[in-house]
Structure 1
């Protein structure tokens, strides 16, 4: 087996490991609210989330193309060491934040680890502004929308429907609706997050073949979807506890509004090829729903911990990606 082929195989394995970790790291995105409201048992929620993560991952490749073409210049991304360094950096950060129970962004960990590794290989001129700007646009707008949209949706539902019902009736009506919204959330998560791994593997294949691939190979789509589904099936209970139980006290109507709002935003971003953080969006949506109950109902100290993880992800992963890139260049 030739050395380049061996490196490619290692990168594919690393990418699928990242996807698996992403699955259990971000399980909370899809199921925390439905578990917290007791609409689904943990086992039911994880099984549903794992299945729909796979289905969602099979529905498009726009985000994958952004990752594979528009973050690092092709002549720099053609070095397999850059791709490998980015994956190691993102895996390390994901495991650290999972260990600390912080819902950080796997998406931004990967993108900005790739930026750091690209800088190590070719300086800042190696970075493609188009893709990075698209990612930053998603970073800013998706949490803002995630916070505002559920507030508007909650007031609309309360005005149209819920104000005419008893609290017990509202809970009874929205319990099955929240099952649907949790399923939609899992589907949208798979559609956006699994595509990052597809993009990385496609980037590595292009580097090995010496050309840019116009399409994501079918086996890459299937492998990425399967790895994320398996990761989701293992759960991520540290982050589930933070997201579902420590930010705000949730009822089925709250979970429905948060999940429907977040899933719609994520699905829209996927169709536009924007790599967004599903963690950022659903966290913001939960906080947005919480504020409709009263500002003091949200545990802002916990929200502050989540926000700090958001803030530190970008500079930390750029630095860590750069460090891994420098180490990779020694070989």
Structure 2
């Protein structure tokens, strides 16, 4: 039997290692193509070797963004079973790449978040190129490490740490804008707390308006269109502000009725969201009213009504992420490309189509090859999610970013989404705490009562066994008492077991909480130290 078990384990291990080898092969093949293409198309440019190596690092970074960061957009939908893993990967890959290619923009800031002063490089192009290469490679290595240990971390914070570490190594501590770094550190607290509060608030509102009602169908006909309309407003506003900001002048040229501004204003974005929300409300109210007789008057029946909105949420979040965060992969690469081609250092750089393609395709490949690991972590290994909870997390992801950006608060989309998952989990614990307390009190009463009975039976048994002359009744009673004592001991054992499990009820896995928070806190310093080491290594290799 043991030999068969070992053989089965060997087969599983061989199959798993084969799949891992294939994944690695695909990723290396993509990076090799990028390296060869970059080298072949820049043959007449001085320092084209730098550009080819930087393109390789950029491809590696894009793959790791796909593996780690995209999970936040589709993880809740997969965990709630609104989407299958395969469906989520296809939707996320398509919309991430579309967001990057369609709305990624034509110009990118070379130094993300303005965390270092590029004038400190003193016009030394080579030093700047080495620093950007170190930032790219170190951020990618840190993301790879975090993905391996199933910790969803912020890619923005990874590249921020990389740029900061390489900048300090190249030009000293004075190069860093410490005020900006302080705001980023503040986001470690603000992002998850705001995300958790918003997600928990929406989940509580859904429970109060529908789940806790006797006639859930009537409540659903009234409230589901309202909640989905709010979601529509939030996502259209979010998409306009974050997903279309880089191509807004082009949008204005097509839709001439829009105000001619460089970026969409909050008022314009909110008004567009309101128009869409009204249309969604009218359509959805009619659809749900017509299908009311097919809806079960249960929690599960209400849950199903949030499935389609969740799929839209996953797609829109992926599009906005592709448009907004592709700069994490290609910002330093675009800076190196600009420095190599033009021989100077610029705070902004044009994005050649091939550079944007590296970011878009790399993110899609990373998601397809390595995304499932983090999608499972986000979707099911922090707390159990159903459609209502996942919907609340998606709402938090959009609404928190909108209001935080208007208030000037630094936030991380990764921290918001994961904070939202923690928020709905802790709300479940709070709502269940009363029932659990009642169960614990009941179990303790049962244990006390059963122990009293056990003590009485044991006393009677001792008295009967001590009698010198026993009659037929005495022997029958002794047998009966032994049986009753066994039953009481079994009841006490069961009550203690139930009490122990009731006292341990936790809907948020504490180990996951500790691991993720620790990864968040050390992301910037870890990427910075790694980047400084990589910078000195590159400098040493290229100077000799």
Tell whether the structures are fold-level matches, with TM greater than 0.5: yes
Larger of the two Rg values belongs to structure: 2
1:147 aligns with 2:199: no
SS of residue matched to 1:293: helix
Please report the TM-score for the alignment, with normalisation by the length of structure 2. 0.56
Aligned with 2:338 (options 192, 206, 218): 206
Residue of structure 2 in register with 1:21 after alignment: 64
Deviations 1:40-84 (A, max 9, x none): 111101000111112333435599427357122224394210011
Q: Which has the higher contact order (CA 8 A, sep 6+)?
A: 1
Aligned with 2:528 (options 318, 322, 327): 318
1:37 aligns with 2:37: no
Distance 2:212 2:174 in 1: 57
Against the structure 1 CA distance between its residues 83 and 198, is the aligned structure 2 distance closer, same or farther, given a 3 Å change threshold? same
Aligned with 1:112 (options 152, 158, 161): 161
Against the structure 1 CA distance between its residues 170 and 62, is the aligned structure 2 distance closer, same or farther, given a 3 Å change threshold? farther
Q: Which contiguous aligned blocks of 4+ residues in structure 1 show a shift greater than 6 angstroms?
A: 267-275
Distance 2:407 2:97 in 1: 20
Against the structure 1 CA distance between its residues 131 and 5, is the aligned structure 2 distance closer, same or farther, given a 3 Å change threshold? farther
Distance 1:252 1:175 in 2: 6
Residue of structure 1 in register with 2:114 after alignment: 70
Any residues of structure 2 matched to 1:137-286 within 5 Å, and which? 137-164=186-213, 165=216, 166-208=298-340, 209=342, 210-212=344-346, 214=348, 216-217=350-351, 219=353, 220-266=355-401, 277-286=412-421
SS of residue matched to 1:294: helix
Against the structure 1 CA distance between its residues 65 and 268, is the aligned structure 2 distance closer, same or farther, given a 3 Å change threshold? farther
Aligned 8 A contact 1:60 1:271 in 2: no
What's the offset of the Cα at 1:169?
A: 1.9
1:308 aligns with 2:518: yes
> Which runs of 5 or more residues in structure 2 are unaligned?
1-42, 217-297, 431-505
Distance 1:63 1:280 in 2: 27
Distance 1:63 1:110 in 2: 18
Residue of structure 1 in register with 2:98 after alignment: 55
What's the offset of the Cα at 1:181?
A: 2.0
Aligned with 1:83 (options 122, 132, 146): 132
Distance 1:201 1:141 in 2: 30
Against the structure 1 CA distance between its residues 168 and 26, is the aligned structure 2 distance closer, same or farther, given a 3 Å change threshold? same
What's the offset of the Cα at 1:286?
A: 0.5
Residue of structure 1 in register with 2:257 after alignment: none
Deviations 1:211-258 (A, max 9, x none): 426454251434422322232232423222222222111111101110
| Deviation larger for 214-223 or 33-42 | 214-223
| Deviation larger for 286-295 or 116-125 | 286-295
| Deviation larger for 287-296 or 39-48 | 287-296
Against the structure 1 CA distance between its residues 170 and 184, is the aligned structure 2 distance closer, same or farther, given a 3 Å change threshold? same
Distance 1:189 1:230 in 2: 15
Against the structure 1 CA distance between its residues 308 and 42, is the aligned structure 2 distance closer, same or farther, given a 3 Å change threshold? same
What's the offset of the Cα at 1:122?
A: 0.4
Distance 2:179 2:351 in 1: 24
Please report the TM-score for the alignment, with normalisation by the length of structure 1. 0.89
Against the structure 1 CA distance between its residues 69 and 201, is the aligned structure 2 distance closer, same or farther, given a 3 Å change threshold? farther
Distance 2:327 2:536 in 1: 27
Against the structure 1 CA distance between its residues 97 and 188, is the aligned structure 2 distance closer, same or farther, given a 3 Å change threshold? same
Against the structure 1 CA distance between its residues 156 and 260, is the aligned structure 2 distance closer, same or farther, given a 3 Å change threshold? same
Distance 1:197 1:67 in 2: 12
